[in-house]
Structure 1
Amino acid sequence: MATIREVAKAAGVSPATVSRVLNYDQTLSVNEATRQKIFETAEAMHYHKSRKTRKGHQKCLAICLWCDQEQEIKDLYYYSIRSSAEAEAQKQGFQSQVVYAGDPLPDSATLSGIIMIGYQQYSAARLTEVKKTELPLVFVDTDTLKLGYCSVVADFGQAMQEALEVLWQQGKERIALLDGDLGSDFDKNNLVDFRFRDYKDSLEKRGQFDSDLVYVGNFTPQSGYEAIKKAISAGPFPEALIVANDAMAIGALKAFKEAGIKVPEDVSLISFNDTTAAEFANPALTSVHVETQQMGRASVKVLKDQLDDEGAGIYRITFPTKLVYRESCPKE
């Protein structure tokens, strides 16, 4: 019996497209010729859904992170996802092995599947290595549905729009973004981070996007401090700042304090992830709450579904976000 991936290869489309066509997904935009070709290919290759559990698969999961242990602790967002995935794996009867940046990938023969936290942050070599295992993969924090892999994500697009609207309602027109990038050769007009994409799209619609108001760190407190300190020295700082994570926002607060800039009196600040650091910062950070624990747990459940049901298909789970108001941008 053929698999979805084999049907996809023969039909010249992605596994995700095959899965959605065979499951009669009416939201999928695909022409009738392609749809017919998929059905004919699946029939010719004797593909059919199966509810039978895969036999003999190992009971061990690899949970991969793009960062090392030190950076994970500095940004509790990833720690929360990873630790929750580990706990759920144990609950579901799996062993798990955490793979940090620089760690070798375990022998694929010992694994049931792989959970990847992030996507763009990995090197091309690591992604190729993981995909070559041909094990079931689930990506967390990045939408990989079009690439043919299940994913678990948060609705950051809605979160960015809400943050911008809050600031606009407060009369803020010059809104800066402190975003993150792991490399030093980034393009401030085309950062890979999805928060930048949503920020840029929204401001361009209002004719307000200005790359000079985009500052870049590497997701750590020190990088946030250095980026904002440099921005302050360049001239008058904007009325508001959105920061890609709480860790960089902590660094930004330090830079503002040293410069005598008061938050929120002089600058309103909204960050992302709502980690413990956000609540105990001074001032406490208004931050976008992300269901990191649920995302970690869901990643294991999705992977188990892929293991237990060959007809499960490729799908995405999206968790809502919520803006938690605190001192750095109080609700009016």
Structure 2
Amino acid sequence: MATLKDIAKKAGVSTSTVSRVLNYDPTLSVGEETKKRIFEAAEALEYRSHKKVMTRKKGTIAIVNWVSESEELNDLYYMSIRISAEKKAQELGYDFIRLYDQDELIDHDNLAGILAIGKYSQHQVKQFRDKELPLCFVDFKPQADVDCVLVNFKDAIKGNIEYLIKQGHKRIGFIGGEESFSDGTGNWIDPREKTMKEYLKRKRLYSSDYFQVGEFRVEDGRKNMLKILDQLDKNERPTAFVAANDAIAIGCLKALYEKNIKVPEDMSLIGFNDISTAKYITPSLTTVKVYTEEMGSSGIQLLHERIQDGRDVTKTVITSTKLIVREST
């Protein structure tokens, strides 16, 4: 495991700065570029050593992110997928361009393929397909015949609930997130929230009072946890929560600290994604490991098959997850 010292050395900052950034310390005043270096260093150090990079170039792949650079810092999930995709592209002998706006594709000709990371509206999917290039979506399955890489969210959420029930919890809450397509045409429905409701209802443990949804950010996690804590008496509150991602979970930890609620003695908490910061916060976060390295790598591999082998059959890769138990449960 990479240490704070390792990250600090790679990012060119002090270990104390790394610690405060990874803990989302709101009192720390550093620029977004410094934060970006630290988060990218932490993510990069998580990955295994890759094979030797091919020297003969095979073309250029556009790696398109549905979030902006600043939004990427709020949810390292997408940064992690992007970094792994870039590494795999280099390993296979491709150049790549990094885009944070789909419209920027207009300025680039002679591309070998497109990797689209994130959620896109039907109109945006059509724009990608109109380029008539090998195309793969990561973390999203459009209503179209196209390659994609997905996560088995349903089994992960069910596993979380079963784990908490075995720990003796009967009042289980959920702090979720919602996201809008970047063209403003609608919202993406998170399967984690849907599965949480359905499975808790099946277990006769569901309560709408235990659910809150905001954005996938630390501050939203904090606000929504405080909202539930303030609305319910101590004896009516959930004794455990599942958060839709680690950023939300970190915000929940901050709210619980503010309310002098001990974790995990008084409240257990499970995050989602296992971003590089999850192990460094206090208490370290129990979370669902999503294999973002495999997601980005698989997306590039699917493109490679289209570009080099001329594969015509559409493929969907579904990656598994694993519950990583740490100090918050």
State the TM-score bracket (shorter-chain normalisation): 0.7 to 0.9
Question: Which residue is 1:298 aligned to?
Answer: 298
What is the root-mean-square deviation in Å for CA atoms of aligned residues?
A: 2.3
SS at match of 2:298: helix
Q: Provide the C-alpha distance between the structure 1 equivalents of 2:153 and 2:130, rounded to a whole number of angstroms.
A: 30
1:222 equivalent among 219, 224, 227: 219
Q: Which structure's CA Rg is the greater one? A: 1
Identity of aligned residues (%): 38
How far apart, CA to CA, are the structure 2 residues paired with 1:209 and 1:289? 25
Whether the 8 Å contact between 2:64 and 2:102 is mirrored in structure 1 is no
Instruction: Report the equivalent of 1:118.
Output: 118
Q: d(CA) in 2 for partners of 1:218 and 1:103?
A: 24
Contact preservation (8 Å) 2:84, 2:294: yes
Higher-RCO chain (CA-CA 8 Å, sequence separation at least 6):
1
Whole-angstrom distance in 2 between the partners of 1:113 and 1:194: 28
Correspondence for 1:48: none
| Alpha-carbon displacement from aligned partner over 1:123-165 (angstroms, at most 9, x marks no partner) | 5543332222222211111244x63111112222221111110
CA contact (8 A) 1:191 1:197 kept: no
* Partner residue in 2 for 1:238: 238
| 2:129 counterpart of 1:131 | yes
Aligned residues between the structures: 265
- Correspondences of 1:105-184 after superposition (within 5 Å): 105-107=105-107, 109-119=109-119, 122-144=120-142, 147-183=144-180
Give a deviation string over 1:52-102, Cα, whole Å, max 9, x none: xxxxxx811111111111121222211111011011111222111112147
Q: Is the 8 A contact 1:108 1:135 kept in 2?
A: no
Any idea what SS the aligned residue of 2:253 has?
helix
Partners of 2:195 and 2:121 in 1: how far apart? 24
1: CA distance between counterparts of 2:306 and 2:188? 32
The one-letter code of the counterpart of 1:179 is: G
Counting only pairs closer than 5 Å after superposition, residues 1-332 of structure 1 correspond to structure 2 as 59-101=59-101, 104-107=104-107, 109-119=109-119, 122-144=120-142, 147-183=144-180, 192-236=189-233, 237-329=237-329
- Note if contact 1:178-1:215 (Cα within 8 Å) is conserved in structure 2: yes
**Partner Cα distance (1:98, 1:217) in 2:** 28
Q: Secondary structure at the match of 1:264?
A: coil
Q: Structure 1 64/211 Cα, relative in aligned 2: closer, same or farther at 3 Å?
A: farther
Residue 302 of structure 2 aligns to a residue whose secondary structure is helix
Structure-2 change in CA distance of 1:149 and 1:292 (3 Å): same
SS in 1 for 2:96: strand
Give me the whole-angstrom Cα distance separating, in 1, the residues matched to 2:266 and 2:106.
51
1:169 aligned partner, one-letter code: K
Structure 2 gaps, min length 5: 1-57, 182-186
**Structure 1 residue identity aligned to 2:255:** A
Which letter does structure 1 place at the counterpart of 2:328?
S
Corresponding residue SS for 2:287: strand
Please list every run of 5 or more consecutive structure 1 residues that lacks an aligned counterpart in the other structure. 1-57, 185-189
Q: TM-score, normalised by structure 1?
A: 0.74
Q: Is the 8 A contact 2:89 2:95 kept in 1?
A: yes
Preserved CA contact (<8 Å) 2:209 2:228: no
